[in-house]
Amino acid sequence: MRHLSVLPATSRSASLIHHLQRRWLPTVPASPSYKRPPAKPTTAAAAASSASSAAQKRMAPTPPPLYSSPSSATGPPKSPESPASPSPSAPPPPPSSSPSPQPPPALRDSTRFAGDAERYRGASNLRLGREVRRILAQPVQPEDLEIEPDRGWLYLSEAKYLEILADAFGESWRLEPVTPPLQSPSGRVHYRSYALYVDGRFVSEAIGDVAAAVVETSGDGGAAEIERRCRYAAMVRCCKDLGVATELWDPAVVNKLRAQHFVRPIGKKWMKKG
């Protein structure tokens, strides 16, 4: 009676797998053994050349990588700096002994001398009597008319406007400048704003202007003449709000008055008839 040796389960499994591999798997021929070629004899010159090339390689700087991300080259992205805010526990800074610089004082309303509250004091509070309204609204008399020789514009003289205002208000009116003398960017026009007051109450406001060429050609150039012409132009526009010579603002009436009382000979300028 034979005694069969009982192997552990692990040993039997390994023997079975080894038996199946040898029986069923194809046999792979062994690869020929690799033989290293014989080394070539080196000379002293070749050894020196190889040593110098190795030294040059060690001394050459390492080239940067072809592809590198910004984070790897410059480090992690930095957050935008925000203005430093004082710590809540930190004490407030001591007050400065020197006062902080203040901006230069500017004119009110950019160019005006007086503020709105002061300039428009008493607006719409003026009560005109019947006689005053009659003087202001009286029709224009032909003998008081003036004409611009080149263009044929009809107007009343400065003296006539002063006479009408004096008859209506006496000495209780005044025309007050509310801006400094100004000039257009091109320098061709001078202008200034004025306000008309009666009994200390605001009545009207207008801009008076004059062309620089007109002042130069008239021969009366100068700051005084520019101021007088600007004041007169503003007076005419302010008096329009009071009803003075309003017909001279109507083109139909102006054409009729010009045809009745003025004439322009051929090749000459406008002039009064007779």
pLDDT recorded at residue 122: 76
pLDDT tens profile 235-273: 999 999 999 999 999 999 999 999 999 999 888 899 998
The reported pLDDT for the residue numbered 274 is 74
Name the token pair of 11. Answer: 């040993």
Tokens at residue 123, please? Answer: 């607006």
Distance CA 193, CA 231 (A): 8
What's the confidence (pLDDT) of residue 107? 35
Taking a C-beta distance cutoff of 8 angstroms, is the pair 271, 263 a contact?
yes
Structure-block tokens of residue 213: 């060429």
- C-alpha of 158 from chain center: 42
Nearest Cα neighbor of 232 from 183, 161, 145 is 161
CA dist 67 and 121 (Å) reads 77
Contacts of range 181-190, beta carbons closer than 8 Å, 24 or more positions apart: 181/223, 181/226, 181/227, 181/230, 182/111, 187/212, 188/212, 188/213, 190/215, 190/226, 190/230
- The count of other CB atoms within 10 Å of the CB of residue 66 is 5
Q: Is 172 left (phi over 0), alpha (psi -120 to 50) or beta?
A: alpha
What pLDDT does 172 receive?
A: 92
Q: Please give the average pLDDT of every successive group of 10 residues along the chain, which has 274 residues.
A: 48 62 56 57 60 63 52 49 52 58 41 62 82 94 93 94 95 92 92 93 93 77 87 96 94 95 90 86
Cβ 238 vs Cβ 196: under 8 Å: yes
C-alpha count within 13 angstroms, C-beta hemisphere, residue 167: 15
DSSP annotation of 257 reads: H
Can you tell me the distance from the alpha carbon of 150 to that of 211, in angstroms, rounded to the nearest whole number? 15
Predicted TM-score (pTM) of the model is 0.57
The predicted pLDDT at position 95 comes to: 59
